[in-house]
Structure 1
Amino acid sequence: MEKPVLEKQAGRDSGSLRIADDVVAIIAGLAATEVEGVAGMSGGIAGGIAEMLGRKNLSKGVKVEVGETETAVDIFVIVEFGIRIPDVALKIQENVKKAIETMTGLKVVEINVHVQGVAFPSTEIKEEETRVK
């Protein structure tokens, strides 16, 4: 069951704010894909192959635990070939933390980056030219 976005407390004019897990996951996914060197989000490893997800599925490569004031995030990414992975992971952590804390006011207690694969540059195979026309 999904958490309500806004709950009213009985007998009070003020209410409390509850941010849905999916909202935090989408913020984290978008912030992670903004980092240079991230090829995309990963939906996990199925049969030994990391499945790459498009931009529409940003929350699918992210798992979050959201409390009343804190959150913990696990991000599953595919990095571009030739990029130093520890540098990319650090930038992901910084960008995701900043985005979540700025947009939601939640304190980020941990961000775990799981590198699920490496994306190689696409190489176009030129059709062999025929010798005879």
Structure 2
Amino acid sequence: MSVQEEELGRIKVSPSVIASLAAEAVKECYGVVGMSRRNLLDELAGSLQRGARRGIDVTIGDQGVIVDVFVVVEYGIRITEVANSVMRRVYFTLTSKAGVPVAAVNVHVQELRVGDDAARKSS
């Protein structure tokens, strides 16, 4: 849990809230067509946990939160630009909406998805 001390008391932001905010930020990024899990075991365990947090892992560290984002990127779009966009948007969203310090945003591109247009061009 991310905790901030204020003059009137403490503000605690749970990892699930941080994950939900990060997931909403990722959905707005051009080139991201879906979220993914880290591996098959996470996929099976995650079937019990649905919703906005799929594909987001949050770790609370000494220097701030560390967010790992597992995404599916559209084929044909520059992966590094999509990943940088995800990093910037998640960082901005968490610092501006939740006020939590962000130590790192790690983007893991798990898959490329070929859309109908890309499939037709390669045929």
| TM-score calculated relative to the size of structure 2 | 0.76
The corresponding residue for 2:100 is 106
Q: Equivalent residue for 2:81?
A: 87
Pick one of 21, 30, 38 that aligns with 2:24: 30
Equivalent position to 2:35, from 22, 38, 41: 41
After superposition, the Cα gap between the structure-2 partners of 1:97 and 1:103, relative to the gap in structure 1 and judged at 3 Å, is same
Tell me what 2:65 maps to. 71
| Partner amino acid, structure 2, of 1:114 | H
Mark the structure with the bigger radius of gyration.
1
Q: 1:122 aligns with which of 109, 116, 121?
A: 116
- Cα distance in structure 1, aligned partners of 2:75 and 2:63: 37
The answer (yes or no) to whether the contact 2:63–2:103 under 8 Å persists in 1 is: no
Aligned length, in residue pairs: 108
**After the TM superposition, which segments of 4 or more aligned residues of structure 1 sit over 6 Å from their partners?**
none
Other-structure match for 1:14 = 8
In the TM superposition, residue 120 of structure 1 has moved relative to its aligned partner by 1.1
Structure 1 runs not aligned, ≥5 long:
7-12, 124-133
The percent of aligned pairs where both chains have the same amino acid is 31
Question: Any idea what the Cα deviations from partners look like across 1:98-129, whole Å, max 9, x if unmatched?
Answer: 00000111111101000000111137xxxxxx
Amino acid in the other structure paired with 1:34: E
Give distance in 1, aligned partners of 2:51 and 2:92. 21
- Cα deviation, 1:73-103, whole Å, max 9, x if unaligned, reads 0000000011100000000000000000001
Instruction: Give the structure with the larger helix fraction.
Output: 2
Q: Name structure 2 gaps, 5 residues minimum.
A: 118-123
User: Which amino acid letter does the alignment assign opposite residue 73 of structure 1?
Assistant: V
1:97 is paired with a residue whose SS is helix
- What is the identity, as a one-letter code, of the residue corresponding to 2:112? V
Q: Which moved more, 1:37-46 or 1:90-99?
A: 37-46
